[in-house]
Amino acid sequence: MTAQLLDGVALGQQLRAGFKQRADQLAAQGTRPGLAVILVGEDAASQVYVRNKVNACAQAGIHSEKYVFAPDVAPQVVFDKIAELNADPKIHGILVQLPLPRHFDADAVLEAIAAQKDVDGFRAENVGALMQGQPCFIPCTPYGAMKFLESAGISVKGKEAVVVGRSNIVGKPMAMLLMHAGATVTVCHSQTKDLKAHCLRADILVAAIGRPKMITGDMVKPGAVVIDVGINRMADGKLCGDVDFESAREVASYITPVPGGVGPMTITMLLANTLESAERSASA
């Protein structure tokens, strides 16, 4: 079997076409949706992600503002900017690109974002609401992964789902979303014994470890749906995921490629959350 591709560029474009209409409609009523993106430091990957987010906003009719700070900036400068953006009616979403430099308390920075503008869904309040099944905003990467399943008509109810990785940004919220959708969820991580045995039980396998090509075809159950959240740069400059695509695609029923899978969907769902925030603000 060769797996069908879950194409994040195509699905993203399809969804974003609808977003443009919603953004223009809101603007006609006096509320142009707005996103502020804060980048601290010079991490090359973060610079690319932020550029892609800002470009995606422009295409979707969403106003964006980018604030770039030097790696050694005093945290108070960033807190002051967040406070200013919290009070700015043109801004409906605030995103602080992670990781932050070591001298920052990342949790404190995320908590400084107003709850109604936390379009990443990273604040503790949002995380708690997600656990209760009532999130204000769903974190963009797991949200995008769920959209793949929904758009391909893949039923989650009663399935065995295995999430490899337990980060706050992906692994934990992904597990929660799959559980709410009716899957029986296992979360594996660096201390998991016999990772392969767990992966082989998965009808839906989500790889979010940050280790290039760690999940190989012999770890995939025949017919499984494989969602690869990893983006790793190889020595030759090429990008690859946490899944060994070539071997896994021969076993899986569906698989996301890297690049062109989860990455574009993360940005798409950021736009979705920003729009939703603007719509809430306009109808408040």
Stretch that binds ligand GUN, among 65-73, 94-102, 145-153, 171-179 (CB under 6 A): 94-102
Contact between 57 and ligand GUN (CB under 6 A)? no
Contact between 169 and ligand GUN (CB under 6 A)? yes
Contact between 253 and ligand GUN (CB under 6 A)? no
CA 131 from chain centre, in angstroms, equals: 17
As a whole number of angstroms, the distance between CA 222 and CA 248 comes to 9
Contact between 277 and ligand GUN (CB under 6 A)? no
Contact between 268 and ligand GUN (CB under 6 A)? no
Stretch that binds ligand GUN, among 80-88, 96-104, 126-134, 147-155 (CB under 6 A): 96-104
Supply the DSSP string of 133-146, one letter for each residue: T--SS--HHHHHHH
Under 8 Å between Cβ of 218 and 196 = yes
Residues in binding contact with ligand GUN, number by CB under 6 A: 9
Cβ neighbour number for residue 1 with a 10 Å cutoff: 10
Tokens matching residue 136: 């204000």
Residue nearest to ligand GUN (CB): 98
Tokens matching residue 216: 């190989």
Active-site residue identified among 97, 147, 221, 244? 97
Tokens matching residue 248: 């896994």
As a whole number of angstroms, the distance between CA 278 and CA 39 comes to 22
Under 8 Å between Cβ of 170 and 176 = no
Cross-strand pairs, 63: 34
As a whole number of angstroms, the distance between CA 272 and CA 142 comes to 13
Residue written as tokens 């069908």? 4
Contact between 242 and ligand GUN (CB under 6 A)? no
User: Residue 82 or residue 95: which is nearer to ligand GUN going by CB?
Assistant: 95
The residue type found at 188 is: C
User: Residue 36 or residue 224: which is nearer to ligand GUN going by CB?
Assistant: 36
Q: Which of residues 12-51 bind ligand GUN (CB under 6 A)?
A: none
The single residue among 31, 256, 266, 268 that binds ligand GUN, judged by CB under 6 A, is 266
CA 197 from chain centre, in angstroms, equals: 27
Supply the DSSP string of 44-94, one letter for each residue: HHHHHHHHHHHHHHHHTT-EEEEEEE-TT--HHHHHHHHHHHHT-TT-SEE
Contact between 97 and ligand GUN (CB under 6 A)? yes
Active-site residue identified among 120, 203, 242, 244? 120
Contact between 239 and ligand GUN (CB under 6 A)? no
97 catalytic residue (yes or no): yes
Shortest distance, position 3 Cβ to ligand GUN, whole Å: 25
Label residue 283 exposed, middle or buried (CB < 10 Å: 0-12, 13-18, 19+): exposed
Contact between 120 and ligand GUN (CB under 6 A)? yes
User: Residue 36 or residue 140: which is nearer to ligand GUN going by CB?
Assistant: 140
The single residue among 141, 268, 274, 277 that binds ligand GUN, judged by CB under 6 A, is 141
Contact between 96 and ligand GUN (CB under 6 A)? yes
Contact between 114 and ligand GUN (CB under 6 A)? no
Active-site residue list: 53, 97, 120
Q: Give the residues lining the site for ligand GUN (CB under 6 A).
A: 95-98, 120, 140-141, 169, 266
